[in-house]
Structures are given as C-alpha cells and as structure tokens.
Amino acid sequence: MSSLTQVLSARQERIVEILRATPSITTVELANRLGVSGETVRRDLQTLADEGIVEKFHGGVSLHRAVQESPFQLRLRSNVGAKRRLAQQVSAMLPDGCSLVLDNSSTACFVAEALAERRGLTIATPSLEVARTLAQSGDRHTVMLPGGTLRSSDMTLAGANALRFASQLHPDFMIASVAALSARGGCLDFDPFEVEFKQAVMPHAGTVIVVADASKFEAPGLITALAWDQVQVLVTDQALPPELARAADGVRVVVAPPGA
C-alpha cells in the first residue's frame, strides 16, 4: 500500500472526491462528469490504482477501503516546498493593516501559516482549516468566517449563505489558488462552489492575486474561475511558457525566488 505521498493532479484529486461520495462508478460516467475522454480517465485510474488509492473492476472503479485521508489532506502534503515559497512571497507583498480574502485551498493554508508573524490584518475565509491555522498565532489578526453548511471533506463553509457573505466583501486583496492556468481558459477549477466564491469576491476586490506553482501550467481544469483580465497579479515559481505568457500579458507575474 502506498503512503499516499504522490503528488496527484487536480483531476485525480477530483476523482477521489467523487468516489468518496459514490461507492463505485463506471469509467464512462466518471469521464462524463469530468468532461474528459475515457482514455484520459483510464490513465488517471491506473495511476491511482498503482498508488493503492482505488480498486479497479471491469468497467469501473471504487475507492480502496484502506484510504483514510481526504483529497484536501493529500493536497496539504503535496508540493509543500513550492507552496511555502509562494506563500512567503505573498506575505511579503501585503501591506500592514490591509484586508484580504483567502479561499479554501491548501495553498491558502500555507499563506495563513506565512502570515503568523504579521499583525493587524483583516482576513475573511470560508475555510475552517485556514481559520484554524491563523488562530494558532493568537489574536494577531481579525478573522471573519461566513455562515453556511460545513463540507467535511475540506472543512469549508459552503452554500448560499457563504456566497452571500462573499458578495458583500470589499477586500484590498483576494488571494486565490486554482487547479490550472490555461492560455485559452484562464484560471480553471473543478469545484462549482469554489468558482462561485471567487467570482462573488472578485468584482469588489482591490487586487486579485492568483497563486499557482508550475505544476498548474496548462494542467486539466473544468470551469473558468477567473479570466485573465480579472487577475492583476500571478505569483508562481517559474517563468510562464510562451503561450501562457501571451495570454496573461496584462498580468503582473511575480516569480518567487528559490529561497523566498
């Protein structure tokens, strides 16, 4: 059995999320739900089977009985070095006394960790994990949470009340992580609530900062969370490839140094 330390793609994480909600599913249905080909799904399932995360049967797949970690917990243990460097870069860019929104991503947890030595920020988030991380540094910051329905898979407060809360915020900064950066599609994600939350905050945010490491360059994604013309700053760890750089031409790209 794998220790589940492999870095999973966003689509593979989404497959695990689907299987947590559905005991078993056919390959065809899974491909339809993800909006990809059957061949692509079969490759992902083989990777997950090799890691001991899923069990394949004729025409379908189920989650391995021994898998205990949620996809969010897996993400917290994936690409840790890159996420910490990007988080430190973001922290250095935020002025004292500003207000910001952190989404419910694993990257947001690392940003919250990087803010531990800062003081006097006002931070809104739908993520109880982000709020818990911020609370570990005491009362250094004002932390705001929405009402909503608890989504236990990633400890997110979701639903209509959370989206209403998001639409009423006017932060200086919105810090957003996404599943993929696409020249054609912009900043992509898979989860409808996460997309809606970003879109609710974006119109009233002073500056939208997207945080994404190089593994997100032209990675799979299903829904446009943010178009390139809605993003002011991209914090990443490598220079963008040419086609992506052209698409993000109006965006300030900040490449975090290795020691950031």
The percentage of residues in the chain with a pLDDT greater than 70, rounded to a whole number, is 90
pLDDT one-digit tens code per residue, 87-98: 999 999 999 999
Name all domains of the chain by residue range, CATH numbers in brackets. 10-73 (1.10.10.10), 79-255 (3.40.50.1360)
Give the pair of three-digit tokens for residue 43: 């490759």
pLDDT one-digit tens code per residue, 166-215: 999 999 999 999 999 999 999 999 999 999 999 999 999 999 999 999 98
- The more confident residue out of 52 and 210 is 210
Q: β-strands 207-211, 173-177: how paired?
A: parallel
Range in 2-6, 79-83, 98-102, 118-122 the model is least confident about: 2-6
